[in-house]
Every structure is written in structure tokens, then in C-alpha cells.
């Protein structure tokens, strides 16, 4: 299906729809994304169980959008909570804007409850993370460097400066009440403090990756407690989908950004919808 769009478009947006219906929603995030994209891009167009729509006007491939919208409207908007996480590996405010706009448009909502930004310009791949985990297990009582603890060291002043620019783009949506709460992922206490002190809309959520160890750094815990940030843990890789994997699904395209959204029914805490949206582009002709 993707060739129908790629034939004419430099940029495409791909939505997996509600992956809970495809029994993909209880796996590792990179596995969920890959299999969700595979179903969306390579399913038999005549298969009744998979409804894929190609929006040629906007260059979008959308899986089961009507079913997703039906699921979102089963309850009143004030009865559900919509949260999202944007995964970005290069500095681009355009990518942040494209991601949030696509989220609001595809979910057909005027606002979401929270958006967390994960920015890793110097990504630690899955192999490196696995190696770190083997060398420093928590069972040995060693609270050694995790991906979160190393963010400032790996990305430096340039990285934090880029992050501030990206975060400012999200702040604009918060100021317009299109995002109710902002969050940030994988920062150490130093980087989080610098971002927080200069933000017009300070983050109220901090996520830390405990893939390499089970202990949240004490200084990070203290900062979040002092500034009333909700501190959550996660196990998402810094790079959700390697380029070679995505190239096998959409040849000639590279991922610019990706996001995951989750929809919960507030009173019961039940996860009712979950999916991924990806923005991708072809290299410009000038670079070919």
C-alpha cells in the first residue's frame, strides 16, 4: 500500500490505529511499533479485519481510523485521559509541530491531557543498553549509570540547548490549552533542573528509564519531590525503530519522529486505546 503514497509524497504520516484490537498492545514498544506498521503497510487490502485508508490529499496511511474514533467517543471527553509520548532523535521544531498536529487531527480531539518528550540526539541503541544491564545488575547492589543518569554527559550543553528549543515548541501548545500537562523523559537531575528553571510552562511529569537498573537516582527523586513533578518509570528504548528495519517496511523513507498515545477511562483506569503515529520523509533530491 505504501507505494501508492510514496510515489507522490516527500513526507508521509502513518497511523497504526488501535493496536489493542490487533493483540499487539502488551509488548515492548519497539515490537509494538514494528508490527503495527507492518500490519498497516503490508496487509491484504481485501482483508476485512484490517481497514486501511490512504489519504492521498495529505500523504497519510491510516489504519482503522473510524474504529479508533468510535472507541474515543464511547465515553465523554471528560471521562477519558489521553496521554502521548513523542520520540525524537534529531533537533527539529517542525517535527514536534507535525507530531502534535497529527495526534490531534487523527484522534479528532481539541486537546490531550499530557505529552512527554523523549529527545536522544546521541542515541544508545538496544545492544549497548543490554550490555550495560549485564555489567551492572541491581542484584549486585550497584546503582551504576543508567541511560537517564548519562543524558547530560552524553549530550552536553549543545544537547540541553536543543532540548530547550524543542520544549518551547511544546509550550506553545500548552499555552493554547491543546496540551494540559507537559513531561520530559530520561533527563538526569542537572538537565531537568536547567530545563525546569527556564521553562514558561514547567514540566509536571518526569520519566526515567530503569532498563539498566532498578534505582532512581536520589538527586532526581529529590528534585521531583521538591518541585512536585510526577516521577514515572518506563522501559522504552532510546531508538524505537532502527533505520534498516523501517526501510524494510517503507523503502526510501526515514523516520523523522514517532509517538505513542494511550487512552484511559478515568474512573476505572482501563486502557481503551493505544497506538503509534510515525512521520517519515524521503531524502531531498538535492542529496540524492
Look at residue 137 and tell me if it is in a domain: no
Domain of 223?
1-124+148-281
CB 33 within 8 A of CB 258: yes
CB 14 within 8 A of CB 41: yes
Rg (CA), the chain: 19
DSSP letter for 284, please: P
pLDDT at 229: 97
Buried b vs exposed e over 222-240: b needs ≥16 C-beta within 10 Å?
ebbeeeebeeeebebbbbb
Tallying the residues shown for the chain, one arrives at: 288
Cell of 171: 509550550
**Percentage of residues in the chain having pLDDT higher than 90:** 65
pLDDT band at 6 (very low <50, low <70, confident <90, very high): low
Look at residue 38 and tell me if it is in a domain: yes
Look at residue 244 and tell me if it is in a domain: yes
DSSP letter for 283, please: P
End-to-end CA distance of the chain: 24
pLDDT at 107: 96
Q: Mean pLDDT check: name the lowest of 34-48, 56-70, 171-185, 259-273.
A: 34-48
pLDDT band at 123 (very low <50, low <70, confident <90, very high): confident
CATH number where 190 lies: 3.20.20
pLDDT at 152 over 50: yes
Sign of CA dihedral 116, 33, 5, 245: positive
pLDDT at 50: 62
pLDDT at 48: 55
pLDDT at 220 over 90: yes
Span 202-217, average pLDDT: 85
User: How far is CA 190 from each of CA 19, 56, 233, rounded to the nearest angstrom?
Assistant: 36, 45, 18
Coil, strand, or helix at residue 179? Answer: strand
pLDDT at 77: 94
Look at residue 142 and tell me if it is in a domain: no
**In angstroms, rounded to a whole number, what is the distance separating the alpha carbons of residues 204 and 196?**
9
Look at residue 132 and tell me if it is in a domain: no
How many C-alpha atoms does 252 have within 13 Å on its Cβ side? 14
pLDDT at 4 over 60: no
Look at residue 152 and tell me if it is in a domain: yes
CB 152 within 8 A of CB 190: yes
Span 202-207, average pLDDT: 97
User: pLDDT (tens digit, 9 = 90+) per residue, 228-245?
Assistant: 999 999 999 999 999 999
pLDDT at 259 over 60: yes
Look at residue 95 and tell me if it is in a domain: yes
How much is the pTM?
0.88
pLDDT at 22 over 60: yes
Span 147-159, average pLDDT: 81
Look at residue 88 and tell me if it is in a domain: yes
User: pLDDT (tens digit, 9 = 90+) per residue, 274-288?
Assistant: 999 999 999 875 444
The structural domain count of the chain equals: 1
Q: Which residue has the cell 540524492?
A: 288
pLDDT at 126: 44
Span 62-83, average pLDDT: 91
User: How far is CA 18 from each of CA 154, 172, 199, 237, 244, rounded to the nearest angstrom?
Assistant: 35, 28, 33, 21, 25
Amino acid at each position: 500500500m505504501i507505494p501508492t503514497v510514496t510515489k507522490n509524497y516527500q513526507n508521509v504520516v502513518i497511523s497504526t490505529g488501535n493496536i489493542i484490537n490487533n493483540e499487539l498492545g502488551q509488548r515492548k514498544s519497539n515490537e509494538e511499533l514494528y508490527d503495527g506498521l507492518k500490519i498497516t503497510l503490508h496487509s491484504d487490502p481485501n482483508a476485512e479485519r484490517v481497514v486501511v485508508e490512504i489519504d492521498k490529499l495529505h500523504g497519510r496511511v491510516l489504519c482503522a481510523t473510524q474504529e479508533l474514533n468510535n472507541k474515543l467517543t464511547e465515553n465523554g471527553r471528560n471521562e477519558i485521559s489521553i496521554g502521548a509520548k513523542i520520540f525524537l532523535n534529531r533537533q527539529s521544531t517542525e517535527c514536534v509541530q507535525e507530531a502534535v498536529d497529527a495526534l490531534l487531527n487523527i484522534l479528532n480531539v481539541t486537546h490531550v491531557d499530557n505529552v512527554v518528550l523523549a529527545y536522544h540526539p546521541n542515541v544508545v541503541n538496544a545492544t549497548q543498553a543490554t550490555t550495560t544491564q549485564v555489567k551492572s545488575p541491581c542484584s549486585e547492589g550497584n546503582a551504576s549509570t543508567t541511560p537517564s543518569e548519562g543524558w547530560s554527559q552524553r549530550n552536553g550543553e549543545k544537547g540541553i540547548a536543543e532540548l530547550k528549543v524543542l520544549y518551547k515548541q511544546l509550550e506553545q501548545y500548552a499555552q493554547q490549552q491543546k496540551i494540559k500537562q507537559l513531561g520530559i523523559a530520561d533527563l538526569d537531575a542537572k538537565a531537568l533542573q536547567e530545563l525546569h528553571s527556564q521553562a514558561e510552562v514547567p514540566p509536571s511529569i518526569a520519566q526515567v528509564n530503569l532498563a539498566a537498573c532498578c534505582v532512581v537516582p536520589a538527586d532526581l527523586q529529590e528534585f521531583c519531590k521538591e518541585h512536585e513533578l510526577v516521577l514515572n518509570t518506563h522501559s522504552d528504548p532510546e531508538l524505537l525503530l532502527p533505520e534498516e528495519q523501517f526501510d524494510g517496511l517503507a523503502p526510501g523513507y526515514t523516520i523523522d519522529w514517532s509517538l505513542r498515545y494511550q487512552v484511559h477511562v478515568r474512573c476505572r483506569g482501563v486502557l481503551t486505546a493505544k497506538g503509534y503515529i510515525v512521520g517519515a520523509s524521503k531524502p531531498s533530491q538535492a542529496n540524492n
